[in-house]
Structures are given as structure tokens and as C-alpha cells.
Structure 1
Amino acid sequence: MSNSAATSESTSITEQVFRHHLGAFALGIDELLKDYTDGSVIITPTATHAGLNQIRAFFEAFLASTTPEFWAAFQVESQAVKDEVAYLTWSAAPFIPMATDTLVIRGARIAIQTFTPFQ
């Protein structure tokens, strides 16, 4: 396989996982967790969440804090995919004026994710 074919295949998988991740919020925690493994990590300004149990707890707390008004205000501002990295900026003003997520996709799952909300 040539490098360009490997890059194209990797980007395609990254885009698929990225799209699934964004759509999974509407489907619930179990659907969200399909994008992670027990080796996955989410890094935020306040904590590092490692493994499925901690990632579940992170998303349960996040989803519990959101309201229908939050989801009505949610907007993707920008997104980019390059090789195994996906980047997203989004807002849900006035709740979260801006946030960024960076996802590193390996083996068709999110290996590492960073999440930073700006208040």
C-alpha cells in the first residue's frame, strides 16, 4: 500500500469515527462509548479521564448538565481532519461560548481526546 493510499484510508476512518462521535450525542451514553476503548483517554483542563469507566462518568456528568436549550444553541464553528487527527470548535452560547475538541483516532476508535471549554 502506498503512503497516499494509507493516508486516504486513515483519513476516511478518522472522518467516519468523527462523524459517529458527533451524532452519538443524540443517541446516548452507550452509543458515545462505542467510539472509545478501555485504553482511551480524555484530557480536560481539570482532569484526565482514562478508560471506559472514567469516560462514561465524564460523559454522564456532561450530559446531565445540558438542557434542551443547550442543544438548541449548539453550533459547530469549524472542523478539520488530517490523517488520524480530528479537530472541532463549537459553541452553545450562552452556556459555553466556545469549546475545542481534538481527537486522535487509532484502530477506528478515539485513543486520545482533548476537550477545552472557554467561559
Structure 2
Amino acid sequence: MARTPQQIFDHHIEALIARDVDELLVDYADDSVLITAAGVAQGTAGIRAAFSQLSAALADAAFEIKSQTYHEDVLLLEWTLDAPAFAVDGVDTFVFGADSIRVQTISQQVRPKG
């Protein structure tokens, strides 16, 4: 049975907070795309590389969801991240497909502390 967009996202966040890249990749397919200002990561191998770099930066960081707005298979997410050396305000867009995240965009503003 296919998961709903909410179920996929809930699993995605749990894996992200746990910094478990293998579990995070369960939510993507071989044709999924992750788009950021740094570039485009395609497929699970590209997305693995992008999140492997990100998970190191998330050490000792507190993640908070500010808002979630769903419309059918699309989610707009506003979030913040608070780490010892920096804070981040971010907005992600998710487009869900058959039991996976088909497209995710990440836009973020990083503010150094101190």
C-alpha cells in the first residue's frame, strides 16, 4: 500500500533528525530530484551525496518546523535550524509521487552567529 504525502514526509523528517541518510533515501526514487542553490542532485546516488554533506552540518543543531501547507501531492514547508555557529531560515517544496518524493527544492538563508 502506497504511503500518503503526509506519511512520506513524517518518515523523511524522522530520518533527517536522526541523521540517517540510508533511511532518508527510502523516501526518494531513482528518478527523484533535489534542487538547491548549490545545484541539482538527481537520483538516489546524487541525493545521498547531498544529504551526506548536510548531515555533518546538522550535528548539534535544533530543527523546528514553522509551517506545513499541503495541497494534494505538494507540500510547502517553512523551517528553522539553530546550530552553535549559525542559524538557518529555510523553505522547502516537496512534490510527491507514487510512494516517494519526486522533486524537492530547498531555499535557505544562513546567518553566522557571533
- The question of 1:82 aligning with 2:71 is answered yes
Aligned 8 A contact 1:97 1:118 in 2: yes
CA contact (8 A) 1:96 1:117 kept: no
Counterpart Cα distance in 2 of 1:117 and 1:45: 9
The answer on 1:13 being equivalent to 2:4 is yes
- Trace 1:62-73 onto structure 2 (pairs within 5 A): 62-68=54-60, 70=61, 73=62
Whether the aligned pair in 2 keeps the contact of 1:102 and 1:114 (CA below 8 Å) is: yes
Aligned amino acid, residue 102 of structure 1: T
Q: CA deviation at 1:102?
A: 0.7
Q: Distance in 2 between matches of 1:100 and 1:114?
A: 8
Greater strand fraction, Structure 1 or Structure 2? 2
Match of 1:60 in 2: 52
> Aligned partners of 1:106 and 1:33: how far apart in 2?
14
Alignment of 1:98 with 2:89, yes or no, is yes
**Structure 2 counterpart SS, 1:102:** strand
Percent of pairs with identical residues:
35
Q: Comparing both structures, which one devotes a greater share of its residues to helix?
A: 1
Matched, 1:34 2:26: yes
Label 1:27 to 1:91 Cα distance change in 2 as closer, same or farther (>3 A): closer
1:40 and 1:64 map into 2 onto residues whose CA distance is 22
User: Larger Cα Rg: Structure 1 or Structure 2?
Assistant: 1
Q: Unaligned 5+ residue runs, structure 1?
A: 1-9
* Distance in 2 of aligned mates of 1:67 and 1:105: 28
Structure 2: which 5+ residue stretches go unaligned? none
Count of aligned residue pairs for this structure pair: 106
- One-letter amino acid of the structure 1 residue matched with residue 44 of structure 2: L
> What is the aligned-residue RMSD (CA, Å)?
1.7
**TM-score, with structure 1 as normaliser:** 0.82
